[in-house]
Amino acid sequence: MLVVFPPSLKYDTNDVPSFYEDHLLERVSLLELRLVQVVEQLAMAFEFIKRESKSFGKDHALLQAFFETIQKANPEIAELLKKNQIETLDEIKENPARNIYQEQFPEELLRHHTNPNVELFTQLIKEGIKLLTNNEERQAFRNLERAALLSPRNIPLKVFIAEKLLRADKFAAAEKYLITAFETEPHNEKILLLLGAIYADFADAEKSRKFLSVLTTDPGKVLCVNYIWGMLAAFEANWTQSIAAFKEALKIIEAPEIHYLIGCGYCESGNYRLALRHFQKATATEPQFADALFMQSLVCKISNNAEDEKKTRLTALDSKQSGTPRLRFSCKEDPDVPEIALPFAHFEQAEKHLLTGGAPRLTKFFRELLFKSIE
C-alpha cells in the first residue's frame, strides 16, 4: 500500500494532517478485518476438508466392497447399477444449481422423509404450520418436534424448525436442531449463518466467527455477517475492527442504524469528529432517531459545543420512540457521559445477548437482516 503526501509536506517532519491519519487508520482497520476473516475461513476450511476426507474414505470403501460383491453374485445387475450411476452424474452436471431448498414447501420436507407413517408426518407438518399462523407457538412446536422424531434425517425440516424457533426468540432450542443438521450438511450456508448468529448472541465470539468466516464472500449474506462481526468486535473492545466491519456493511446499505453504530465506535476510540459526522448522517436520514440524537449531544458536550448539545438533547427527549437506552440519561438536566456507548451498554449484563439484548430498534434491524439473508 502506497501513501503519497503533497510536496508542501516535504520539509515538515513534525505535523501530518489528521485526514491522512484517518485514512491510514481506516485502511489498516479494513486490512486487519480481512486478515482475521481469512484466517477464520482457512481454519474452517481445514476442518471441513479433514471431516470430508474421512467420510469419503469410509464411503468409498463401503461402495467398493458392495460393487465387488454384486459383481461376483450377478454381473448383469452390477452393470445396470454402473449405468444408472453414470446417468445420475450426468444429470447433476446438467443442473448444477439444483438444490434441496429450491422445492416448494411442504413438498420439500415431504420429499426428504424416508421413513413410514407419511400420512401422520404430513398431518403434523400442516398442523404445525397452521398453529404457527394462529400464533399458537407451544402446540405448533410440539407438532413439529413429533414430525422431526418421525424423520430424524430430514435436514430441511430441522432447518425449518430452527428458523421458526429463532423467530420466536428460542435461540437455545434452535441451536440443538442446527447442530445435528450441521453434522450432516457442514457446507449448508443457511445452517452456518444461523449458527453464527446464535453463538454471537450467546457472546461466544470464537464459535460464531468459525461459522461466519465461510460466508464473508457470499453476496446474499455478507451484510448480515459484517453486522454480526462488528458487534462481536465491539464486545471485545476492538473498535478499529468493529468500525471496519460496520463500514463494510455500509457499502451495501445506507442505513441510519449502521451510521449510528460507526459513530459509537468512533466515540469509544476517542475520534469525536468522525463520530459526530456519522451521528449527523444517521439523524439526517431518521430525524427522530433518539439514541443517535442523544449520542450526538454527548459528543457536542465533550467538544464544548453547548448550543448544539442543548438542541440535540431536547430533540432526543421529545422523540416519541419508546424503549430506547437514552431515556436513562437524557431526562437529567446535565446527563452524564455513559461509560460505554449506548448500543454496547448491555454487554456488561450477566445475560448479555449481544444481538438481541440491546435497544429494540437495533434488535429489529438485526432480525430483519438475518431472516432476509436466509430467504
* CATH number, position 191: 1.25.40.10
Q: Give me the number of domains the chain comprises.
A: 2
Choose among 302, 268, 265: nearest CA to 282.
265
267 and 366: one domain?
yes
Say if residue 175 is in the same domain as residue 41.
yes
pLDDT at 110 over 90: no
Residue 364 pLDDT: 95
Give CA–CA dist 98/93, Å, rounded: 10
> What's the pLDDT tens digit per position in 50-72?
666 666 666 667 767 776 777 77
Mean pLDDT taken over the chain: 82
Report the b/e string of 96-126 with b at 16+ CB within 10 A.
eeeeeeeeeebebbbebbeeeeeeebeebbe
Are residues 175 and 239 located together in one domain of the fold? no
Mean pLDDT in residue range 87-96: 49
| Cα angle value 255/373/42 (rounded, 5°) | 105
Q: Is residue 90 part of a domain?
A: no
> Do 196 and 293 sit in the same domain of this protein?
no
Do 204 and 322 lie in a common domain?
Answer: no
In terms of pTM, does the model score above 0.85?
no
Question: Residue 10 domain-assigned?
Answer: no
The predicted structure's pLDDT at residue 286 = 92
Residue 88 has pLDDT above 60, yes or no: no
Does residue 159 share a domain with residue 146?
yes
pLDDT in tens, 295-341: 999 999 998 988 888 888 888 887 766 556 555 555 555 566 677 88
**In which band, very low, low, confident or very high, does the pLDDT at 15 lie, cut at 50, 70 and 90?**
low
CB proximity list for 208: less than 8 A, separation 6 or greater: 196, 197, 198, 199, 200, 228, 232
243 part of a folded domain: yes
Give residue 356's pLDDT: 94
Alpha-carbon span 134 to 361, nearest angstrom:
25
- d(C-alpha 225, C-alpha 175), whole Å: 18
Burial classification of residue 133, based on how many CB atoms lie within 10 Å of its CB (0-12 exposed, 13-18 middle, 19 or more buried): exposed
Inside any domain, residue 87: no
Cell of 15: 505535523
Task: Look at residue 146 and tell me if it is in a domain.
Answer: yes
Determine the structural domain holding residue 306 and report its residue range.
Answer: 219-375
* Domain membership flag for residue 104: yes
* Residue 231 and residue 362 in one domain: yes
Asked, for residue 358, whether it belongs to a domain, the answer is: yes
- Whether 141 and 255 share a structural domain: no
Res 98: pLDDT: 38
On whether residue 8 sits in a domain, the answer given is: no
249 and 182 in a common domain? no
Residue where a domain terminates, one of 171, 198, 218: 218
Regarding whether 305 and 344 lie in a shared domain, the answer is yes
- Asked if residue 367 and residue 336 are part of one domain, the reply reads yes
How far is it, in rounded angstroms, from Cα 189 to Cα 109?
18
Picking from 218, 240, 269, the residue at the C-terminal end of a domain is 218
DSSP secondary structure letter of residue 346: G
- What is the 8-class DSSP label of residue 350? S
Point out the domain boundary residue: 161, 184, 218.
218
**Same domain, residue pair 200 and 290:** no
- Which of 52-56, 195-199, 292-296 has the highest average model confidence (pLDDT)? 195-199
The span from the CA of 1 to the CA of 119, in Å, is 64
